[in-house]
Every structure is written in structure tokens, then in C-alpha cells.
Amino acid sequence: MALAWSRGAGSIALLAMLSGGALPAQAAPSGAAQRIAWANRLTWGATAADLAASDGPGNDRWLAAQLEAPPADLPPDAAAQVAAMRITREPLAQIVVTQQAMQRDANALVDPEQKKAAREAYQKSMNALADEARSRSILRDLYAPDQLREQMTWFWFNHFNVQAGKRDIRAMVGDYEETIRTHAFGHFRDLLEATLRHPAMLRYLDNDQNAAGRINENYAREIMELHTMGVGSGYTQQDVQELARILTGVGVDLNHDAPRMRPQLQPLYLRAGLFEFNPARHDFGDKHFLGHTIKGSGFGEVEQALDLIAAAPATAHHVSAQIAGYFMGDAPPPALVDRMAQTFQRTHGDIAQVMRTMIRAPEFAASLGKTFKDPIHYAISAVRLTYGDRVILNPQPINNWLNRMGQGLYNHETPDGYDMHAAAWSGPGQMATRFDIAKQIGGGAYGLFRLPGTTADRPAFPQLQNALYFNGLQDALAQPTRAALAEATSPQEWNALFLSSPEFMHR
């Protein structure tokens, strides 16, 4: 692994370890270090406030508030940025219809130069909508009081992945993430239907093109394989085909008026925003799905199918294993996954209760500090630790870092979402990139406090050798890390080394 810069053998040894993402032997953590470890696992990254709070992460009252309270408001400075966004000010349907008209008008132009300029303006407008969604997501991860909800929002988005670059999803992705956030701690069955009804998912997996006589199995296959039961859980190719038939007519309509159809079908037509169920496109034949016969009846077939899928023991186990792997790293303890699955089934998919079963398990406490951070956990935790509650003015540098590390928001092309295994993110190239990002964060604001479109920056040099470090963070550091930090010749170098340390790479 090539190192950009390093002083002394201790620093070189420390940074070389990063290529494998390994943790050196550590001393038993102190009480303060334990609180920080809980914060690093249950939030997007520990801050000084976590050490000072009477009810910090890991505390029963804190956990109850995180799991039971409705979505919380951002601090005023962050909330003001979100409030100014178009995705906040305009309803989804209005945005999408406006963008469609903009594209249609551009394509109708005859003059080549005018057409080119209009198409470029359309693409710029679409990109801006996706960038707003990314900025809002980053601001919430950094500053939202309900940190556990924001972590689960990212998890569920990755679980029900869509890619912003396909078709017109850039205009929809912010609302899609908001829908997921609302259901993050509800019942899995409700979350599953909420994603099914969202135009971003229907566009992404082409179910808006699924109709009687022109069956498209894309969405049906991913529901079974990725979203619910999982590969090898006992469903068959016939089940996928039958689910695709059940989903015929479930799609998207940007028109104001209902489509024309036979009078007897009109009572079965459903419309909610951009979502529609068009019975004229539906296969009304009986289906045989997961061992049950579902009579042709319209959208009620979809409801029955979702009930069967959500209640399947395989879904409980697959989803529980995914959640445990996200928080606890590779190969979570099978016994704990089984207990989570039992809670899932007993509570009819109550996500908050499944989370409580996991978090209160002794295996979970034993795993603290051992989960390798994927890129977004690394970037967000570094900024949270470095700048605390000082609200950034420009999330774009963070978005750029995520792109450099290969985990850009809404960028994953395939439905499986980003890989959560440590091996996907701990290679030498990734570690070299993280070291460069650590230098940028540790050396100053690097544009985080520069208003977009301006050149004037507001300096915010961080001092990580602070009370949080001396009262807790240092207790979790192994001797090689301490030795490397002792050789730093400047605060900037010390910051970069700390943010590059094996201990900081884990949560």
C-alpha cells in the first residue's frame, strides 16, 4: 500500500495495517470508552455531546426514545437548508409532472442549438433534484436527534435499492427516501407496501411496464430474492411468475385524468399521487402463489400476496440477518439472528421490537467496536467527531468523498444494494482514499463551511486532541496507534493519523 505521507516507523506501521482493516489488540475499555462505543454503533458517530448527555446511546431511556418517538426535527441551521430545497417546497407529483413537461418541450424544439440548450437545462434540473436529496440525507445523518432512525433509513434504502440515474428517478428519489424514513421503525409489511406503491421503485424495476399479455418479472423476482424471503428459501420460479402476474397493472401515471376502460373495471381503478393500479392492464386469472390460490380480484391480490410474503418465516430470518449484519458486521451470531426472527414473527414484523431484541442482546454488546465501517459510516462519523454540532453549509464535499470511496448516494446500479461485508471496503485502494480524506477533514473545513457557488470559506480548524479524546477516546486505542499519534509533528498530522487509525475504522 502506498502512503501519501507519514512520519516515523510507528506511523507507517499503523497506516499499513489499514490495508486489511484489522484491529490491533486493545486494552479493556473504560466506562467513558464504552459510552463512546455505544454511540459509534447506534448513531452515525460519537460526538462530545454523547459523553456529556445523561441519557446517552445504549441507555434504556435513549433507546426507547429512538425507537418510539416520531421523526425528529433538525437543528435550526440545518433545518433552514432543508426548508429551502425544492424537494421540500413542492409535492412529488408536481415536481415530476413539471420535469416531464420540461423534457417534452425540449424534445419538441426544432432548432438544434435551442434543443441542445433545453435538454441540458432539463438534465441540470434533474441533477439538482437528486443533489438536494443527497444533501438532505447527509444533513440528517450528521445532525438529526433520532440518529438510529437515520441509520435505519440508510439501511432500508440500501435493502430496497433504487438508482437515481435510471429514467426519471432523480426527481423521485428524495420522496422515496422520505417514505422509507417514515416507515423505518414500523411494521415490515407496511414498509414493503410503501416501497411497492412508490413510483421510484416501480420505475426502477420496470413494473410500470408489467401488464397482462406483456409480463415483466423484474420486480417480482427482486421482491422474493432480495426484499423478503431470500435466495434458497423455498420459493420457486413459478412463484416469481405468479407474483409478476399479480403485479400486472401496478404502475405509474403522470396524467391528471384516469385512463379509459370498460365501465365494469372503473370501480377497481386506484390512484394515489403518481401511483396507480390500472385494472385494464391486470391479469385477472387465478394465481397459485406460495402454496395458496389467489382469486383474480384486482389490487386485493397484491395485498394478499404481500401478507403471505411478510408472514413467511424465511422473510423474518432473511430480514433479521440483514439488519444484524449491517450493525454487527460479517457473520452475525446465528443464535441472535434466530431470536430476532422469532421476535419478527411474534410481533408481525414490528421493526422496532426486532431492533430491541438485537440491541439488548449480550452478543451485540460484545461486538461493539468490531464492525468495519463502510464508506458512509466512515465519512459521516469523521465529520461528526471533528465538527460536532457546528452545522456545515455545503454537504457536497461529503458527497464527493462517498463517490470517491465507491458508495455514492443513490448510485448503486443493481437492486442488491451496496455490499455490507468488510472485504468490499477494506482493500488497499480504499484505505489510501480514506487516508486522503482524513487529511482533508483533519486539516480544515475543506469547503464544508463554504456556501455553494461561492469561494469564501469560513475556517474551522478542528482540534481532535480535546476533552472527548482525553476522557474516553484514547482509552480504546491500542499501543501502536498511541505510538503513531505521539510521533505526529503538527495538529493537522495528528488529526489525519487519528482519523486513519484502525480503531476509527470500526464502530
Q: Please, are residues 238 and 244 in contact by the beta-carbon 8 Å criterion? A: no
Position 457 scores a pLDDT of 64
Question: Which residues, in sequence order, are bridge partners of residue 350?
Answer: 187
Same-domain status, 303 and 419: no
Same-domain status, 118 and 86: yes
Position 456 scores a pLDDT of 66
Q: Please, are residues 155 and 144 in contact by the beta-carbon 8 Å criterion? A: no
Please report whether residue 338 resides in a domain.
yes
Strands 275-277 and 270-272 turn out to be antiparallel
Position 61 scores a pLDDT of 94
Please report whether residue 302 resides in a domain.
yes
Same-domain status, 283 and 411: no
The stretches in the chain having pLDDT less than 70 are: 1-22, 24-30, 445, 455-460
Among the candidates 290, 310, 330, a domain finishes at 310
Position 444 scores a pLDDT of 81
Position 33 scores a pLDDT of 86
Same-domain status, 434 and 449: yes
Please report whether residue 221 resides in a domain.
yes
Same-domain status, 478 and 349: no
Among the candidates 324, 346, 366, a domain finishes at 366
Report the distance separating Cα 152 and Cα 129, nearest Å.
Answer: 23
Closest Cα to residue 471, out of 3, 2, 20, 46?
46
Position 446 scores a pLDDT of 76
Same-domain status, 390 and 318: no
Please report whether residue 70 resides in a domain.
no
Same-domain status, 124 and 263: yes
Same-domain status, 266 and 171: yes
Grid cell in block for residue 250: 401496478
Same-domain status, 261 and 124: yes
Please report whether residue 1 resides in a domain.
no
Please report whether residue 504 resides in a domain.
no
Same-domain status, 153 and 193: yes
- The pTM for the full model equals 0.94
Our measurement of the distance from residue 450's CA atom to the centroid of its chain's CA atoms, rounded to an integer in Å, reads 26
Grid cell in block for residue 142: 450528521
Position 470 scores a pLDDT of 87
Question: Which residues, in sequence order, are bridge partners of residue 506?
Answer: 372
Please report whether residue 2 resides in a domain.
no
User: For 197-251, how does the pLDDT look when each residue is reduced to its tens digit (9 = 90+)?
Assistant: 999 999 999 999 999 999 999 999 999 999 999 999 999 999 999 999 999 999 9
Residue 70 DSSP class: P
Please report whether residue 424 resides in a domain.
yes
Helices (H), 54-91: 60-68, 76-83, 86-89
Same-domain status, 259 and 117: yes
Q: How many domains in the chain?
A: 3
Report the distance separating Cα 144 and Cα 133, nearest Å.
Answer: 15
Position 471 scores a pLDDT of 82
Give me the domain span that covers residue 471. Answer: 8-58+370-499
Same-domain status, 324 and 456: no
Among the candidates 310, 331, 350, a domain finishes at 310
